Amino acid sequence: MKKILVAIDIARTGGNDLVIQTAKDLAGAMGSEVAMLHVIEPTPSYVLAEVPQGVLAKRQEVAAEELRKIAATHDLTEAVVREGPPATEILDYAEKIGAELIVLHSHDPDLSDYFIGSVAVRVVRHAHCSVHVVRQASA
């Protein structure tokens, strides 16, 4: 296995360290590289007209800087921020870099997940490669 993609959510208050360490442990066992990805959800079109100029670009810059900090903390060199529907962007980027494994976290489902589905579910369903979903035990 040459490449593992770890998808994280920088806005998540917990769990990123666990999912990154899981990806690194798997990569170490398989002699793989780890690429990290954060996806910014798109701003709805009805909101775009009201957003001051430069705010969206600033959001991208702040996310990229935060991801660089996380990557540096975990000794990862490849960290990318993309914008779009999270599951779609994760799947597209995994295919683009030739990832043979996607590692991502899941959360405790709430009612909305039963109607629209979670990112993890969509990635598992549509991935071209294996997917490892990390669940953190509830406190």
Note whether residue 139 is domain-resident: no
| Phi-psi map region of 136: left, alpha, beta (phi>0 left; psi -120 to 50 alpha) | beta
Note whether residue 47 is domain-resident: yes
Q: What is the pLDDT along the chain (139 residues), one digit of tens a residue?
A: 799 999 999 988 777 999 999 999 999 999 999 999 999 998 888 888 888 878 888 999 999 999 999 999 999 999 999 999 999 999 999 999 999 999 999 876 655 555 445 899 899 999 999 999 998 755 4
Q: Which residue segment(s) compose the domain that 114 sits in? A: 3-134
Note whether residue 105 is domain-resident: yes
Q: What is the CATH number of the domain that holds 10?
A: 3.40.50.620
Count of residues in the chain: 139
Q: Which residue has the tokens 């957003």?
A: 51
Task: Please name every residue paired with 133 in a beta bridge, in sequence order, or none if there are none.
Answer: 104
* Structural domains counted in the chain: 1
